[in-house]
Amino acid sequence: MRGGMGAKKKAAKAGAAAQAVRQSPYVQRLAEDEELRANLWSAYESARDAVGRLQNGKHPTKQIFDDKRLQKDLKSAAESFRDASVALHEAPRRRKRKGGFGKLIVIGIVGAGLALALSEDLRKKVLDALFGAEEEFEYSATTAPSTATATPPSSGETAGSTT
């Protein structure tokens, strides 16, 4: 029996390749974009007409410079290929990056945390908003103040003397 295991591997590889092609943004864009397909078809037709005119037996250099219809076909093919190329290159860029909103939230939370950590005024405002304004506290003693004792005069002065 020939090709038993090798055929299975080849079929699996071909299936994986087909799946990769189906998921390609270029193939998806080609399948979905009617204008892109029209540009490619126009480019193909113009290029085919130009090649047909070049193969009529005359010298190609002379035809390129003298044949206005050939120049028109070449110009049309080049423009169509350029338009198709631009459309294909735009396809991957139009895909949105995943996690854009989540990243925005994380950056916002980190920024708010830094602002709270670095700004004392902002910290006080947030705490006042969450827990209410802080009450002013005045201390009043319940004991009577002690009487001041007379301090002895310093060593160089005598009590009651005036100079």
pLDDT of residue 1: 45
161 lies in a domain? no
Spatial neighbors of 53 by CB under 8 A, at least 6 apart, are 63, 67, 69, 70, 73
Residue reference for tokens 């189906």: 22
pLDDT of residue 81: 85
pLDDT of residue 79: 87
pTM tops 0.75, yes or no: no
pLDDT of residue 41: 87
50 lies in a domain? yes
29 lies in a domain? no
109 lies in a domain? no
pLDDT of residue 61: 81
**Domains identified in the chain, total number:** 1
6 lies in a domain? no
pLDDT of residue 159: 53
pLDDT of residue 100: 77
| 3 CB-contact burial (10 Å; exposed 0-12 / middle 13-18 / buried 19+) | exposed
State which residues form the domain around 71.
Answer: 34-96
Residues in the chain with pLDDT values less than 70: 1-6, 91-99, 137, 145, 147-163
Q: Where on the phi/psi map is residue 23: left (φ > 0), alpha (ψ -120 to 50), or beta?
A: alpha
pLDDT of residue 91: 57
